[in-house]
Amino acid sequence: MTTPFPFTAVVGQDDLRLALLLNAVSPAVGGVLVRGEKGTAKSTAVRALSALMPEVDVVSECRFSCDPGSPDPGCPDGPHEPGGFASRPARMVELPVGASEDRLVGALDIERALSEGVKAFEPGLLADAHRGILYVDEVNLLHDHLVDLLLDAAAMGASYVEREGVSVRHAARFLLVGTMNPEEGELRPQLLDRFGLTVEVAASREPEQRVEVVRRRLAYDDDPAGFAARWAEEEADVRARIVAAKKLLPSVRLGDDALRQIAATCAAFEVDGMRADIVMARTATALAAWAGRTEVLAEDVRQAALLALPHRRRRNPFDAPGLDEDKLDETLEEFSGDDDPDPDPDPDPDSGPDGPGGGGGQPAPEDGPQDGPQGGDQEARPEAEQDGQPQPQPQPQPSGVGDQSAARSSEPFRTKVLSVPGLGEGAAGRRSRARTEHGRTTGARRPKGSLTKLHLAATVQAAAPHQRARGRSGPGLVVRRDDLRQATREGREGNLVLFVVDASGSMAARQRMSAVKGAVLSLLLDAYQRRDKVGLVTFRGSGADVALPPTSSVDAAAARLESLPTGGRTPLSAGLLRAHDVLRVERLRDPARRPLVVVVTDGRATGGPEPVALAGRAARLFAAEGVASVVVDCESGPVRLGLAGQLAGELGGTAVTLDELRADSIAGLVKDVQGTSRRAA
């Protein structure tokens, strides 16, 4: 067995270690989500925590780790007789990103359930993790329905398996830890809210601390057992402290003052729902127990807010989690429980807000104009600067191809649904029709491998003609394995939405480019909601660039879009060819995910010999491969050349204007896109 890296040997990452320890003391906190860049000891710290967890007593021969002191009355292996228990270390169970639903929650033997009425249940990972740790690395890449099942079990403390009217329930209480790299995509806000605490981690920028990280890691790699032995005493101390805090936890008092601070803090930060209040209360109680106190203090409430609220402040998909600590301190001070509005019984009249000690250390202005930086220049200074905001300086215009600084995008809007025609088999999502594990039942087939979704009617129909030959004599149906039928279901898949954006000089007018960016941002928001991968190709000047390779991080695409400069000629053919190369490579990596190409341009093509003919030949490559495509026509003005429509015809797709892209405009957009693409294919 591999010796884990000692928890106490992890350098820095104080918030991460504290959040994990608080969940070890009180699993009711609700787990922790660890967000951060790659190589920041996220997985190392989580795996190291398992060695600190106290041993658990379990009923002998129980596959669900029932507590002998209070066994689960509904345990599938029960009822349990008194006595007969064993002690073992708490387990740490890892949930792979590609796990199936049956692997997570367990599976029923459908054949025995139908023919014998026996609930033959094979436990899943939730049962293995009961009274231990369940660790999900890259939780943001886990399928949404698995995340829902996982978080429901964590919230209810039980797992339910339902198969065609046969149900099994077992206890599933565990410390849930998820890690993720935000660059690879975000969790939905409603799923973020289900994690009790969230911690942001980053690599230290201090050279000495980085040196110590490398030194300890090399020492561990050379001799894991010897390195762990050198930290054994510190590990034992932390383990003993966890045990002591768990015993003290029921005695910790959460007073009315602390409760008011918790409620006021959640209200001040406009947190939705009541889960944040409950999590903060449990976290503050665990903090007090960890400190060896039986009373929750304001400092516990503050620390609980820093761990429990930042991820719940994420209102929009492109918002970064965070918390204004100054506002937090003001709220806690306002509801500190001190009934005396003036803490100083004998105030100095010269020390008020207008005196030597007030006004943030700035001398009070006197009547009349003054000279100097705080005086009579007030009227000459720009209005924004007088309000404390620096006035933005005009950006210099670079020479060369006529580059212009990036324009800000306009407000995003709800877009029409763009989808890929046909029936796919890609990753679960919400855009195009696909054969999926979840959705409406459309038919039945023989199972390939293990049966996951039984089609009951088809199974009975397959078994019925053979009952006499099989010697059926009782009321039960004699079912053989080759009678079983798998339900085929149709749902929705996520696609690869590849944006090809014209950033040339013809698009450079400020108001026009702002509208274009707003449209692309709207489509990115739609891609986020529909669980798509996105990519961004831009073309301007003399060539095209892959501004963002295909990724699940829509946030990254939005950030690249905001900083996109414009100017120069319009190498349309280069942009299309670069997009074609991106799709070719991505098809090798993820062949089941179907692409949707969204070209954002006015259709002009300039630069090089025969630019229009070259663009047409490049576009016909997409049409020949049946790639679904949409051209967002950015041409404006009373006179339109219709070049974007011609490009759409070459692509085998359809063209829509910026106005038509809005959800409240034309009704037949999806039908038009699909119909045109299908004819081209």
Strand partners, 176: 134
C-beta atoms surrounding 320 within 10 Å:
11
Say how far apart CA 521 and CA 1 lie, in whole Å.
49
What is the number of residues in the chain? 681
500 DSSP assignment? E
Other beta carbons within 10 angstroms of residue 462's beta carbon come to 18
What is the Cβ-side half-sphere exposure of residue 205, based on CA atoms within 13 angstroms? Answer: 0
Instruction: Name the CA dihedral angle for 672, 674, 676, 681, rounded to a multiple of 10 degrees.
Output: 180
Place of tokens 């999926």: 436
What are the beta bridge partners of residue 334? none
What sign for the dihedral angle of Cα 662, 663, 669, 673?
Answer: positive
Reduced 3-state DSSP string for 544-583: EEEEEEEECCHHHHHHHHHCCCECCCCCHHHHHHHHHHHH
Cα separation, 542 vs 611, in Å, equals 12
Whether 315 is catalytic: no
Sequence-separated (6 or more) residues with CB below 8 Å from residue 66: 58, 59, 72, 75, 77, 78, 80, 171
The owner of tokens 């050279």 is: 207
Please list the residues that pair with 433 across neighbouring strands.
Answer: 492
Q: Of 210, 217, 275, 587, which residue is the catalytic one? A: 275
Q: Rounded distance, CA 661 to CA 398, Å?
A: 34
In the chain, what is the straight-line distance between the N-terminal and C-terminal CA atoms, in Å? 55
The tokens describing 634, both together, are 């950015």
H or E segment to which residue 522 belongs: helix 510-529
Q: Which residue bears the tokens 């790299």?
A: 181
Report the distance separating Cα 509 and Cα 160, nearest Å: 58
- DSSP secondary structure string, 243-271? HHHHHHGGG-B--HHHHHHHHHHHHHTT-
How many other C-beta atoms lie within 10 A of the C-beta of residue 326?
8
Tokens describing residue 296: 């929750």
Cα(499)–Cα(574) distance, integer angstroms: 14
Cα gap 96→477, rounded to integer Å: 37
For 314, the token pair is: 């994420």
Residue 468's contacts (CB-CB under 8 Å, 6 or more residues apart) are none
Name the pairing type of β-strands 533-540 and 543-551.
Answer: antiparallel
CA 240-252-197 angle, to 5 degrees, is 75
DSSP letter, residue 8: G
Pair of tokens at residue 503: 């950033």
3-state secondary structure of 378: helix
Q: Which residues are catalytic?
A: 275
